[in-house]
Structure 1
Amino acid sequence: MRTWRERRGLSQLGLASVAGISVRHLSFLETGRSHPSREMIARLGTHLELVPREQNELLLAAGFAPAFTALALESEEMASVRAALRRIVTANEPFPAHVVDRGWNIVESNAGFGIFSLDADPFLLEAPVNALRLALHPKGMRPRILNFGEWSHSLLARLGRRVTLTGDPALAALYREVVGYAPHDPGQTDDAPELMVPLRIRYRDDELALFCTIATFGTPLDVTVSELAIETFLPADPETTAILQRLDHQENRARSS
């Protein structure tokens, strides 16, 4: 309990106040002098903004059974989830979309993935493909990303926040690896203000500008489902839209011939 509280930057007084309990009671819970009920753990977990995996860990530490299942994505019970993910990424075509798990490993993607995998070293494309490693590695997308400084800065900031909030050693190891691929300087931005950082990437003879949106399941009752993120990439300008539609038309014509 104390570990999660400190990761959130809360004092005992701060957490006790929002949870509606006394500082003394919270102190006793953290030191083991008092044993919490499942209801108390759920209340504190809510105010600590714990995700299902972390709530399960808290329950187990207190001697209770987990509240959330943790099924493998490949299991029969997850067939409907896999089908939903496939429909979502396919519906985004001809624009790229993929689904990543807790560690940014790609578990589903659409035909637009070829924009990202072009010229990548084969070892980066061995399953499971890690989206961050592919994007930042010198033998991955890095040579083709035209605004690599600011794009990598954005990706590393997201990963760094996740490491701080979760304390996950696997994510910390991934951060230590990929931070070495990126410059410390986020790079120069255009004088014109932008609402979001686009991914500006070269694909063969074309230059593309894409915005990334991230979606998650709204009411997950399973740890695996709660940790999936659907990353869709949408054109940032009319030129990119036209290029991707042209490429899609060419590929469809080639498949039908």
Structure 2
Amino acid sequence: MTTSETSAGSLIREWRTRRRMSQLDLAMEAEISQRHLSFVESGRAQPSREMVLHLAEQLSIPLRQRNQLLLAAGFAPSFSEKPLSDASLAPAMAAVETVLRGHEPFPALAVDRHWNLISANAAIGPFLADVSEPSLLAPPVNVLRLSLHPGGVAPRIVNLAEWRAHLLERLRHQNDAIGDPVLIELEQELRAYPSGLKSGRPA
């Protein structure tokens, strides 16, 4: 469902549920009446821009999703977003490269919010030498997919079952926190990969 098809109230209810808060919990945190919050969620009351941002703050909604919430409520986004290639981010990207080089001879990499590879140091190369599925190395390279795919690095990981469980748990927590559709789809894909457990043991 797109933002244009979703009301601000339903998004607030979705985030409240994601945060495992009752209407009373959120109303108390936001210092508003539960009745007013109920009206906002049901669409019987139209929240002001200030109320949208206030509720978003109480729910710890990420800035990108706050923009979506504002759009759903009929307001312009408040938070700007720039691609990593933007000139204003050049100093930050240079700092990232410095940190990566500083880790050599040990491997280090930088990823974006979707776990796509942004940059890596030279020590990463040997880890990719035996990747048998070329598509895994085609940009954008998703490091979680590369790590757990049977045609990627997974066959070389001795404790694959433990590593897989760790990555999936971390991704699950990330999805619980931000509900990014791209990451939700990625988690579903990764869970379908072989578990790394010996036959007869539960996944």
Query: How high is the TM-score relative to the length of structure 2?
Result: 0.83
Q: Which has the higher helix share?
A: 2
- Structure 2, unaligned stretches of length 5 or more? 1-11, 199-203
Q: What are the superposed Cα offsets for residues 49-72 of structure 1, whole Å, 9 maximum, x if unpaired?
A: 111111111111112221211211
Q: 2:142 aligns with which of 101, 123, 130?
A: 130
Amino acid paired to 2:57: T
Amino acid paired to 1:99: A
- Structure 1, unaligned stretches of length 5 or more? 187-257
What residue in structure 2 maps to residue 172 of structure 1? Answer: 184
SS of 1:150 mapped into structure 2 = helix
Supply the distance in 2 between the matched residues of 1:136 and 1:19 (Cα, whole angstroms): 42
- Map 1:187-206 to 2 at 5 A: none
- Map 1:46-125 to 2 at 5 A: 46-121=57-132, 122-125=134-137
What residue in structure 1 maps to residue 155 of structure 2? Answer: 143
Supply the distance in 2 between the matched residues of 1:185 and 1:90 (Cα, whole angstroms): 35
What residue in structure 1 maps to residue 169 of structure 2? Answer: 157
Supply the distance in 1 between the matched residues of 2:17 and 2:71 (Cα, whole angstroms): 19
Q: CA deviation at 1:124?
A: 1.3
What residue in structure 2 maps to residue 28 of structure 1? Answer: 39
Q: CA deviation at 1:96?
A: 1.7
SS of 1:17 mapped into structure 2 = helix
What residue in structure 2 maps to residue 38 of structure 1? Answer: 49
Q: CA deviation at 1:167?
A: 3.0
Contact kept, 8 Å, 1:96 with 1:112, in 2: the verdict is: yes
Structure 1, 97-106 or 127-136: larger mean CA deviation: 97-106
- For these two proteins, the number of residue pairs brought into alignment is 186
Contact kept, 8 Å, 1:105 with 1:131, in 2: the verdict is: yes
Q: CA deviation at 1:185?
A: 5.6
SS of 2:68 mapped into structure 1 = helix
Supply the distance in 2 between the matched residues of 1:107 and 1:152 (Cα, whole angstroms): 22
Supply the distance in 2 between the matched residues of 1:41 and 1:92 (Cα, whole angstroms): 43
SS of 1:34 mapped into structure 2 = coil
Q: Check 1:37–1:115 CA distance in 2 against 1; reply closer, same or farther (3 A cut).
A: farther
What residue in structure 1 maps to residue 3 of structure 2? Answer: none
Q: CA deviation at 1:111?
A: 1.5
Supply the distance in 2 between the matched residues of 1:164 and 1:45 (Cα, whole angstroms): 16
Structure 1, 52-61 or 34-43: larger mean CA deviation: 34-43
- Map 1:9-24 to 2 at 5 A: 9-24=20-35
Q: CA deviation at 1:168?
A: 2.5
Q: CA deviation at 1:12?
A: 0.4
Q: Check 1:184–1:48 CA distance in 2 against 1; reply closer, same or farther (3 A cut).
A: farther
Supply the distance in 2 between the matched residues of 1:146 and 1:76 (Cα, whole angstroms): 42
SS of 2:192 mapped into structure 1 = helix
SS of 2:79 mapped into structure 1 = coil
Q: 1:6 aligns with which of 7, 10, 17?
A: 17
In percent, how many aligned pairs have the same letter? 48
Q: What are the superposed Cα offsets for residues 136-158 of structure 1, whole Å, 9 maximum, x if unpaired?
A: 01111111111111110000111
Amino acid paired to 2:33: S
Higher relative contact order (CA 8 A, sep 6+): 1
Q: Check 1:164–1:185 CA distance in 2 against 1; reply closer, same or farther (3 A cut).
A: farther
Supply the distance in 2 between the matched residues of 1:183 and 1:172 (Cα, whole angstroms): 18
